[in-house]
């Protein structure tokens, strides 16, 4: 999916409506300090996958929900790829 990003990068996956993707970029910047040159954003239907080398705070899901970005409780999860051996 992100061939130019090492497997050690954390992957932040979230589901949002297509018309909210620009708002999501601003929320990512405001809440985590992630700027566009620090992550890759890929659209998969209405799913957007963000891969970044910057660690995201554990409470990012709660912050985004508080801002009413998410449609349901399970829309956001933080996934970590296993480190290469």
What pLDDT digit, counting tens, does each position of 68-85 carry?
A: 544 333 333 333 333 343
| Assigned domain for 5 exists | no
pLDDT of res. 11: 58
Kindly report the CATH number assigned to the domain that includes residue 74: 3.30.70
- Domain around 75: 10-80
| Assigned domain for 85 exists | no
Query: How many structural domains are present in the chain?
Result: 1
**How far is 28 from 41, CA to CA, in rounded Å?**
11
**Dihedral Cα 16, 17, 18, 22, nearest 10 deg:** -60
Q: What is the DSSP string of 17-70?
A: -GGGHHHHHHHHHHHH---GGGEEEEEETTEEEEEESSPPPTTHHHHHHHTT--
What pLDDT digit, counting tens, does each position of 17-67 carry?
A: 555 556 666 666 655 556 656 666 666 666 666 666 555 555 655 665 565
Taking Cα atoms as reference points, which of 5, 8, 82, 85 lies closest to residue 49?
A: 5
pLDDT of res. 74: 36
- pTM for the whole thing? 0.35
């Amino acid at each position: 999916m992100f061939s130019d990003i090492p497997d050690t990068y954390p992957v932040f996956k979230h589901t949002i409506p297509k018309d909210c993707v620009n708002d999501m970029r601003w929320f990512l910047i405001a809440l985590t300090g992630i700027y566009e040159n620090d992550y890759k954003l890929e659209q998969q239907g209405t799913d957007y996958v963000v891969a970044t080398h910057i660690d995201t705070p554990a409470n990012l899901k709660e912050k985004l929900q508080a801002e009413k970005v998410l449609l349901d409780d399970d829309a956001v999860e933080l996934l970590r790829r296993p480190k290469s051996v």
